[in-house]
Amino acid sequence: MKRLRRSLIAYLFLITALMTWLSASILSWYEFQEVASALVMGSCLVAMVQWFKPAARSMRDGQDYADFFAFSIFQILFFMSVQRLWGNILRWTGRPDYLVYSPVTGVIMVMGAFSVFLMILARGTEGARVPRDNIARAIVAVILSGIIAATTLLLFSDQLDELGRVDWHLRPVETKVSARPTSN
């Protein structure tokens, strides 16, 4: 606990969380979304410039932990920026179906998952030799992803319309309210 009290990251996280909730309570939904989106895009763009050279080097060499990690960081930053830009485009255009149900969102998610898989494989990788523990973790991640996808599809597939939207069938709930007991 003493270490946590001296952690700059812990303090920065706490301040950011508090400021986020404060901002969300003061600003309108639209203003908060715009500010949050701008923060993500601005910070990601600056960080992408910082990580571009190591990521480009890792594409050339691609053998060790640092290569996997550098490319993973750059790609996460890149696809976070793309995701925010796509989210803004959807919001600014009124979320037309041809954009909402295009493959862009899925591509962003798959590439984000690829970035995470590189992180899973990165630790301890040297000379293009990925440790077996990392491979096992990546396999567990794929299996877990499959279980999550299968569960979601099984639970909702009979409730989806032609565009893949869930039709919730909100039914009114019948309730009986009894009279409040009176004291004698």
Please indicate, yes or no, if residue 115 is contained in any of the structural domains.
Answer: yes
Domain total in the chain: 1
Asked if 132 and 82 count as a contact pair (C-beta separation under 8 A), the reply is no
Please indicate, yes or no, if residue 47 is contained in any of the structural domains.
Answer: yes
Please indicate, yes or no, if residue 61 is contained in any of the structural domains.
Answer: yes
Report how far residue 108's alpha carbon sits from residue 82's, in angstroms, rounded to the nearest whole number: 7
Q: What is the pLDDT of residue 61?
A: 83
Structural domain that includes position 37: 28-156
Question: How far are the Cα atoms of 171, 177, 178, 181 from residue 174, in angstroms, in the given order?
Answer: 9, 10, 13, 21
Average pLDDT in the 121-137 region? 92
pLDDT by residue (tens digit) across 64-97? 888 889 999 999 999 999 999 999 899 889 999 8
Please indicate, yes or no, if residue 129 is contained in any of the structural domains.
Answer: yes
> Cβ-count burial of 166 within 10 angstroms (0-12 exposed, 13-18 middle, 19+ buried)?
exposed
Report how far residue 152's alpha carbon sits from residue 146's, in angstroms, rounded to the nearest whole number: 10
pLDDT by residue (tens digit) across 32-51? 988 999 999 999 999 999 99
Please indicate, yes or no, if residue 41 is contained in any of the structural domains.
Answer: yes
Q: What is the pLDDT of residue 171?
A: 45
Average pLDDT in the 102-114 region? 93
Confidence of residue 52 (pLDDT cuts 50, 70, 90): very high
CA angle 167, 112, 103 (to 5 degrees): 45
Q: What is the pLDDT of residue 181?
A: 59
Please indicate, yes or no, if residue 48 is contained in any of the structural domains.
Answer: yes
pTM exceeds 0.85 for this model: no
Cα R_g (the chain), whole angstroms: 23
Residue 141 predicted with pLDDT over 70: yes
DSSP summary character for residue 171: P
CA nearest to 134, candidates 179, 79, 2, 126: 126
Residue 159 predicted with pLDDT over 90: no
Please indicate, yes or no, if residue 92 is contained in any of the structural domains.
Answer: yes
| Chain mean pLDDT for the chain | 87
Average pLDDT in the 137-146 region? 96
Q: What is the pLDDT of residue 113?
A: 94
Please indicate, yes or no, if residue 70 is contained in any of the structural domains.
Answer: yes
Report how far residue 89's alpha carbon sits from residue 27's, in angstroms, rounded to the nearest whole number: 21
Asked if 81 and 37 count as a contact pair (C-beta separation under 8 A), the reply is no
For the ranges 71-75, 105-109, 167-171, the lowest mean pLDDT is seen at: 167-171
